[in-house]
Structure 1
Amino acid sequence: MSSVKVDGFQSSAIIEALETAFKGYSEKEKKEQINKTKGIFELHIKNEKGDEAVWTIDLKKAGTVYTGAAKPKADVTINMSDETFMQLAEGKLNGQKAFMTGKLKTKGNMMLATKLDAVLKSVKSQAKM
């Protein structure tokens, strides 16, 4: 069982796929992904029950995904619903539109937040999401 799974969240499957993809990257692939992104995302995702899960995607130094708040501090914190994250991951919604319609809120480096789409797409092509 994955260390990033949180029961009650559809997003867990996507986060697990990210974790699997990152673990499967060669050092070269990991460095390329880090160089493209250069940031730490802290995702706050609420499910239909109103519960919140927090995941961190570190693409600044480590190339890892884990549950909980970012250590060190996140470059961008993104708040959204479980449903919105799923739509982003499936390519049914883009981050900019989600932000403009209030489905996604950011704190910190907003330009980095725009790279989340690219991170999800690059992993989607490698993992079966």
Structure 2
Amino acid sequence: MSSVKVDGFKSSEVLAALAAVFEGYSDEERKQQIKKTNGIFELRVKNAGGQEGIWTIDLKNTGSVYLGEAKPKPNVTILLSDETFQDLAAGKVDGQKAFMTGKLKTKGNMMFATKLDGVLKAAKAKAKL
């Protein structure tokens, strides 16, 4: 699913891989992931050039990743740099540590934001991100 890739954002590669994992899920796996997570993440990622990219990980309705603002309203909006998202996806840093050091900010349900680590880990295991 190349429609989530955006030039100048390394994060978009990770998100494209995540989208591919979701697309590869059987209906049962998708239902399990939606039931487990039950929410929507909106990621606002700033790249080195100061541009902002917006992606949505919908694990409430569709079990998909798409480019653009969340529709319906997200449970949490996560603001971070391209580099910080890469580190999160690679498992080099966890979300709580990134939040505590100011590398990651949230709007909305902060406790729900902690589920993103689990989503990335599950997808990483499946896709070898």
| TM more than 0.5 | yes
Q: List structure 1 runs of 4+ shifted beyond 6 angstroms.
A: none
Aligned to 1:48: 48
Q: Which TM-score applies when normalising by structure 2?
A: 0.98
Match for 1:123: what amino acid? A
Aligned to 1:16: 16
Alignment size in residue pairs = 129
Matching of residues 71-110 of structure 1 within 5 Å: 71-110=71-110
Q: Distance in 1 between matches of 2:75 and 2:81?
A: 20
Aligned to 2:39: 39
Describe the SS at the equivalent of 1:79.
Answer: strand
Greater helix proportion:
2
Unaligned runs of 5+ in 2: none
TM-superposed deviation, 1:61: 1.2
Match for 2:65: what amino acid? V
Among the aligned pairs, what percent are the same residue? 67
Unaligned runs of 5+ in 1: none
Aligned to 1:60: 60
